[in-house]
Amino acid sequence: MQRRTALTALALIGSLTLAACSGGGTPAADGPVELTMWSWASLQKVADLWNADHPDIKVTVQEQGGGDELVTKVITAAKAGDGPDLVQAEYQMIPTLVSNDVLADITEQGGGAKDKFTENVWKQVTLDGAVYAIPQDTAPLAFYYREDVFTQLGLKVPTTWTEFADVARQLKQKDPKRALTTFSSNDAGLFAGLTQQAGATWWSASGDTWKIAIDAEASRKVATFWGDLVAEGVIDNQPMYTPAWNAALNDGTQVAWVSAVWAPGVLTTSAPDTKGKWRMAKLPQWTAGSSATGSWGGSATGITAKAAKNGHAKAAAEFATWLNTDPKAVAALVKEAGVYPAATAAQMSGALTTPEFFPNQPDFYQQVAELAKGTAAASWGPNVNVAYNTFKDAFGKAATEKSSFPVALKSVQDSTVADMKKSGFKIEG
Amino acid sequence: MSALLVGPRVQPSVSARATRRTSWLATFLLLLGAIYCLVPVLWVVMAATKSRSELFSTFTFLPGSGLWANVSELSAYRDGVYWLWMLNSGLYAGVGALLSAAVSAVSGYALAKYSFPGRGAIFTVILAGVLMPPITLAVPQYLLLAKVDLAGSYWSVLLPSVLSPYGIYLARVYAAAAVPDEVLEAARVDGARDLRLFLSIALPMMRPGLVTIFLFQFVAIWNNFLLPYVMLADDTTFPVTVGLYSLLQQGASKPALYTLVITGALLSIIPLIALFLGLQRYWRVDLLSGAVKS
């Protein structure tokens, strides 16, 4: 984690050192337009399909590895007038990239793709009315549980959060060695998704004024709920993605996981012995009978300011639109990169085949498509990384000490507001 | 140096008893240190032998059954791109460390043996450079190299590695101690010019120090992550560190390639171990065999 701090510092240094400098050479007028794309997924094979049909626009994918480091790298490259023409970006990073002048406004070139996506997905690639990327994949939240253990112990699959808490207590009573799940503080994305389900909007902008509502009613409800369960000791408080967590999922110490549609991939690695024993269900609801969910992850294809400067915005947007909406492209995308496509038509198409790890749930993706309809809107600001890092520290401490979660939430709000003020954003209230 | 000087004066027959007495506390502490250093290595070795399903489910320090499967899967990944990364790492580290040792030798020798105006100032700047963590320089270096259109090329990783303040500092200290002024003066009296002095007299005497600099620099470049990560965009020019990182961070939807990354990490330290074993004999050469009485 120390490296991450160093990188944040570096991004700062980078942004201070140079405002802008000369762009690279202008490409020759004749010959095909050459575009490069940075991504963490193996997309070259998908791009090859495009290249075969489009001799005038040639796309090369350069795999970079994902995470915060990629954001730092893209920003640094943009400051030097360098970098790719297209970049894969997680939704929550789009405002950061826009405020660092990495992404170009492609409302004109890419805006036509709007009706291929649901409104809430499209919202995540627009900022103040302008379009900055084409959605690639989405990650609606669901409830994953060990079907065999639930049957064996006579537990009912929870449909509301109240039932969820009851099931956690029953399980603790029947088998104290097990826990329903854990509250993990090492990825704020899950918590953010859960607050979206409850109706939270952490960042919102009108004109040049931002409103930060992390410490607001909806998120407080979610924080209190999980904080109480941790304090009561009916769920675990250890972080996810550790060897201990892998072992707990594999040997059935933890029997459920609130996760996104990509969970089968993680379970394949983390809990290899439990193949065919998991089942996915709708996320528990705050109000019985409703069907809201949040997202944890998902990404879009952005077109960089460099591409726009070189006059390639149209070609790049054309490719990004094809990549994420064309049936052939999306099918390849699903096959090569294992994504859950954002395009609504693709979610219903036959491209998605039952995850290998879930042979017992052949209609997995039909169910996902059903619950994806209830995906709540998410909105992000220019300093998601600050909020997420504070979340890790504050909630990590609160989870270990079993202290107040709402207090931790307030500190996330405070540091996010302070950071934005420091960066010169106007904050409402 | 002082150890080497003092060593022979002690009579072996007298010291035999004294040296054989074991200091239990020191041994214990050193053993603890050794365990602390070796356990992670053992973990990597053991984890590399495990197949995907064994990785997190079997006992940590028990070998698994998947080593060859892992190696062949790694070699097959994207048509053997891993071995290309290894070659790149070898190129960056080998050429970078050689150039760096050469630059350090010249600058260290000049700083130690010539007196010229500004020598103190230059040395102070270099000392300050030693204290500066190289990680903070990666982004400014990137911005500079991008201006001259070198970012993304092999040079963008090689050039920043060539100038190593620590190497120059070490070479200066080493030249001051290992190259006696008397020898240089004697050679000068015999008519040797400056270049000849350096190449024929000083350089051989500095060799053990230069081997040390080469090794340090080789390991530093081989293990460097941030500089190549920031500099390089094309994944066929990646060194092994950045390549493995891109394997690890492929997005949430794909099963993580832990076994490949761990196997790759294990294979990537083998050249370092080989290099150390191969070059360690140069360290033992006693410099002071000959020349002057001190």
Q: Using one digit for the tens of pLDDT, what is the confidence trace for A23-74?
A: 333 444 567 899 999 998 888 999 999 999 999 999 999 988 877 788 989 9
Q: A269, B136: Cβ pair inside 8 Å?
A: no
Question: A45 to chain B: nearest residue by CA?
Answer: B78
DSSP annotation of A204 reads E
Q: Which chain B positions have a beta carbon within 8 Å of A62's beta carbon?
A: 233-235
Please tell me if residue A277 touches chain B, with a CB cutoff of 8 Å: no
Work out the average pLDDT over A12-30: 41
A360 domain residue, yes or no: no
Helix, coil or strand: residue A86: strand
Same domain, A186 and A51: no
A243 domain residue, yes or no: yes
Radius of gyration of chain B (CA): 24
A50 domain residue, yes or no: yes
What is the maximum alpha-carbon separation in chain A? Answer: 73
Q: What whole-number distance in Å separates Cα of residue B139 and Cα of residue B106?
A: 28
Task: Residue A229: give the domain boundaries.
Answer: 142-293+379-427
Distances (CA, A) of A23 to A26, B40, B143, B272: 8, 45, 12, 39
Virtual CA dihedral for A229, A231, A233, A234, nearest 10 degrees?
Answer: -10
A189 domain residue, yes or no: yes
Q: Which sign does the torsion angle of CA B272, B274, B277, B282 carry?
A: negative
Same domain, A39 and A109: yes
Q: B143, A340: Cβ pair inside 8 Å?
A: no
pLDDT of residue A213: 94
A370 domain residue, yes or no: no
Q: Which chain B positions have a beta carbon within 8 Å of A66's beta carbon?
A: 249-251
Q: A63, B246: Cβ pair inside 8 Å?
A: yes
Q: Is pLDDT above 70 for A164?
A: yes
Please tell me if residue B152 touches chain A, with a CB cutoff of 8 Å: yes
Q: What whole-number distance in Å separates Cα of residue A46 and Cα of residue A220?
A: 43
- How many CA atoms does the CB half-sphere of B244 hold within 13 Å? 24
Q: What whole-number distance in Å separates Cα of residue B193 and Cα of residue B103?
A: 20
Same domain, A32 and A74: yes
Q: Which chain A positions have a beta carbon within 8 Å of B252's beta carbon?
A: 139, 260, 262, 265-266, 297
A9 domain residue, yes or no: yes
pLDDT of residue A276: 94
Q: A64, B246: Cβ pair inside 8 Å?
A: yes
* Angle at alpha carbon of residue A237, lines to A236 and A242, rounded to 5°: 95
User: Total structural domains in chain A?
Assistant: 2
Confidence of residue A200 (pLDDT cuts 50, 70, 90): very high
Q: What whole-number distance in Å separates Cα of residue A14 and Cα of residue A74?
A: 11
pLDDT of residue B19: 58
Same domain, A7 and A127: yes
Looking at the complex, report in whole angstroms how far the Cα of residue A428 sits from the nearest Cα belonging to chain B.
Answer: 34
Same domain, A149 and A251: yes
Same domain, A330 and A304: yes
Same domain, A332 and A226: no
Looking at the complex, report in whole angstroms how far the Cα of residue B118 sits from the nearest Cα belonging to chain A.
Answer: 29
A361 domain residue, yes or no: no
pLDDT 10s digits, A260-282: 999 998 898 888 889 999 999 99
Residue listed under structure tokens 């854990």: A182
Same domain, A50 and A122: yes
Work out the average pLDDT over A376-402: 93
Q: Which of residues 293-312 of A touch B (CB under 8 A)?
A: 297, 299
Give me the percent of chain A exceeding a pLDDT of 70. 93
The tens place of each residue's pLDDT in chain B, 294 residues long, gives 344 444 444 444 444 555 567 788 999 999 999 999 999 999 999 999 988 777 777 787 888 888 899 999 899 888 889 999 999 999 999 999 999 999 999 999 999 999 999 999 999 999 898 888 888 888 899 999 999 989 889 999 999 999 899 999 999 999 998 899 999 999 999 999 999 999 999 999 998 899 989 999 999 999 999 899 999 988 899 999 999 988 887 766 566 678 889 999 999 999 999 998 888 777 655 444 444 444
Find all residues with CB under 8 Å of B265, minimum gap 6, and list them: B44, B48, B244
Q: Which chain A positions have a beta carbon within 8 Å of B249's beta carbon?
A: 40, 65-67, 69-70
Question: A76 to chain B: nearest residue by CA?
Answer: B139
Find all residues with CB under 8 Å of B230, minimum gap 6, and list them: A72, A73, A76, B138, B139, B142
CATH code at A252?
3.40.190.10
Chain A interface test: which of B51, B60, B143 (most A C-beta within 10 Å): B143
Same domain, A113 and A212: no
Please tell me if residue A173 touches chain B, with a CB cutoff of 8 Å: no
Same domain, A161 and A306: no
Q: What whole-number distance in Å separates Cα of residue B232 and Cα of residue B238?
A: 7
Q: B253, A269: Cβ pair inside 8 Å?
A: no
Domain regions of chain B by residue span: 80-283
Q: B147, A270: Cβ pair inside 8 Å?
A: no
Superfamily name with CATH number, domain B80-283: MetI-like (1.10.3720.10)
Q: A13, B78: Cβ pair inside 8 Å?
A: no
Residue listed under structure tokens 């290998």: A356
Work out the average pLDDT over A219-230: 96
Order of all β-strands in the sheet with A57-63: A57-63, A33-39, A86-90, A299-303, A133-137
Nearest Cα to Cα of residue A297 among A325, A326, A262: A262
For the record, the structure tokens of A21 come out as 């400098």
State the count of interchain CB pairs (< 8 A) between A and B.
Answer: 135
Please tell me if residue B5 touches chain A, with a CB cutoff of 8 Å: no
Please tell me if residue B235 touches chain A, with a CB cutoff of 8 Å: yes
Confidence of residue A21 (pLDDT cuts 50, 70, 90): very low
Looking at the complex, report in whole angstroms how far the Cα of residue B59 sits from the nearest Cα belonging to chain A.
Answer: 11
Same domain, A401 and A321: no
DSSP annotation of B194 reads H
Please tell me if residue B78 touches chain A, with a CB cutoff of 8 Å: yes
Which member of A70, A80, A262 has the closest CB to residue B253?
Answer: A262
Question: B234 to chain A: nearest residue by CA?
Answer: A62
Same domain, A101 and A237: no
Please tell me if residue B53 touches chain A, with a CB cutoff of 8 Å: yes
A167 domain residue, yes or no: yes
